[in-house]
Chains A and B, each alone.
Chain A
Amino acid sequence: MLEVSVLRVAYGPIVALHEVSLSVAAGEIVTVIGANGAGKSTLLKTICGILAPLSGEIHLKGERVSGRRSADIVRRGVALVPEGRHVFPEMTVRENLDLGAYYRRDSGAVAADLERVLTIFPILRERLRQNGGSLSGGQQQMLAIGRAMMSRPELLMLDEPSLGLAPAIVQQLGRIIRELNAAGATILLVEQNARMALRLADRAYVMATGRVVRSGTGAELLADPSVQASYLGGHPAA
């Protein structure tokens, strides 16, 4: 599904990604964990075309997409749930969701997808006419995920969806990510909540200062002493 090879990305003089390579197969849940500033968000933004790489390549379903505009990449089936949710605060829940389908012309299928989103997130159905900014943090996260799903992505990328949410909501989120995956979406999940992410993931990558420093199955990394020390140590079981 996704093939990232020796990607190098910089913000002006600051190099954020050095030589990042990773791959995600269709149907997988892959997670990327790492400390603050490791470059996880930069990676996702580059994959969906918000940032342009200095060098390296990104292939999606065999087609090279690096250097394309994000609108093209969204149309090719990639959706991003950004870190910090970033819902549109003064637009209704309905308008937020509609915007997720901005590039789609198949209005019948869009209506069906809206129905599906509202079934997965019943709270959004109740709040359809309310402004995005009036929702709680957890609800906004649901809205951000729903908005991303409205583009009917084959690859759904989530950037720290558990950030700032109560443990019960985080658990619910984990279940929803599994469901979406079971329904056919390939998932690339970035998390600082490493325990939750590694439990969900088929495979995982560990990033530090712009590089991939470890990779393996979720179970392998959960059991790895160095990963435990660096990324699981301070966290209570989630």
Chain B
Amino acid sequence: MLAQQIANGIVLGSIYALSALGFTLVFGAARIVNFAYGEILMIGAFFTVALMGALDIDFFVALPVAMVGVAALSAVLFYVALRPVMKSSHTSLQAELQIILVTLGLLYLLREAAVLIWGTAPRPIEMGVDGIVEIGDVVMTTKRLVVVAVMGVLVLGLYLLLYRTRIGKALRAIAQNREGAAAIGLDADRIIAFVFAISGAMACAAGSLLGTLYAVEPAMGGPPLLKAFVIVIFGGLGSVPGAIVGGLAIGLIETLAGAYVSFAFKDVFAFLALIAVLLLRPAGLFGRPAS
């Protein structure tokens, strides 16, 4: 029973980790809290559904295509909606407030657009993977195992991107020290647009996977955004390992608390864990104390 709950927690945690990764990358590199992130995730899930329906293709074919599409959309949104605001404001407080307003505006814009285009009825995504897997006492649908595997592949890909490529190094440089990056001539706009693209791709994967477990609907972006917030604060703002560990931890805590304590209050335990972490490590599990 315990092993079963832990397995369930890891599945949930994998999706949480994926959604938190895209959110934390943008915060880390651009210091932008993207309130529209949950809607990007939702649009990503709809892209996958729409592609599967229109072209009659498999989930595993549609997902990468949708990820590329959402990556492009996310980068375009940065260039069109956020960059002009960042350029035109003269103080950082002014810029921060305006960016919050713009991402909140995007939140409603994207959600209403989804309602207009796709309607409000929930649509399931058929992954096309059936059957169950038994490992010892643990019984799981193969579909859920695939969710964990997809998360593993994407995390590995992200790691290689950040640590093994030229643009990945530039991205880390910008996240670590904006002024240092400017001094060596790194083009912040281009690199941040790239971060938005990666973030969008991650959100699309998270949303589509959620869609295979539950359903796709215009309102689905709210909870993942809130979760991403909690996880990113829990793991450390802007920290990639923090998002992965934090996502898995919150997934586990919720599942275990839901199974053994009270399903209705499972979210309370996630927040209690958050408070405990912040009391012990104010910058989060993997966060750097502000210098």
Contact = CB atoms under 8 A, between A and B. Distances in A.
A73 B183 contact: no
B185 A148 contact: no
Given A48-B185, A102-B185, A103-B185, A84 B90 contact: no
Contacts of B183: 48, 50, 79-82, 86, 144, 148
A90 B176 contact: yes
A79 B186 CA distance: 12
A11 B90 contact: yes
A90 B187 CA distance: 20
Which size bracket describes the interface of A in this complex? 35 or more
Contacts of A45: 182
Given A95-B169, A102-B166, A102-B170, A70 B177 contact: no
A86 B179 contact: yes
Interface string B68-92: 0000000000000000000000110
Interface in B147-197: 166, 169-170, 172-173, 176-177, 179-187
B185 A88 contact: no
Nearest to B94: A12
Nearest to A75: B185
Contacts of A48: 183, 185
Interface residues of B, number: 19
A151 interface: yes
A58 interface: no
A88 B180 contact: yes
B269 to A, nearest CB: 32
Interface string A101-142: 011000000000000000000000000000000000000000
A8 interface: no
A86 B183 CA distance: 9
A208 interface: no
Interface of B: 90-91, 166, 169-170, 172-173, 176-177, 179-187, 288
Interface of A: 11-13, 45, 48-50, 69-75, 79-82, 84-91, 95, 98-100, 102-103, 144, 147-148, 151
Given A48-B185, A88-B177, 8 more contacts: A50-B183, A71-B186, A73-B185, A88-B176, A90-B288, A102-B170, A147-B180, A148-B184
8 contacts: A70-B185, A71-B186, A72-B185, A75-B185, A84-B179, A86-B183, A98-B169, A144-B180
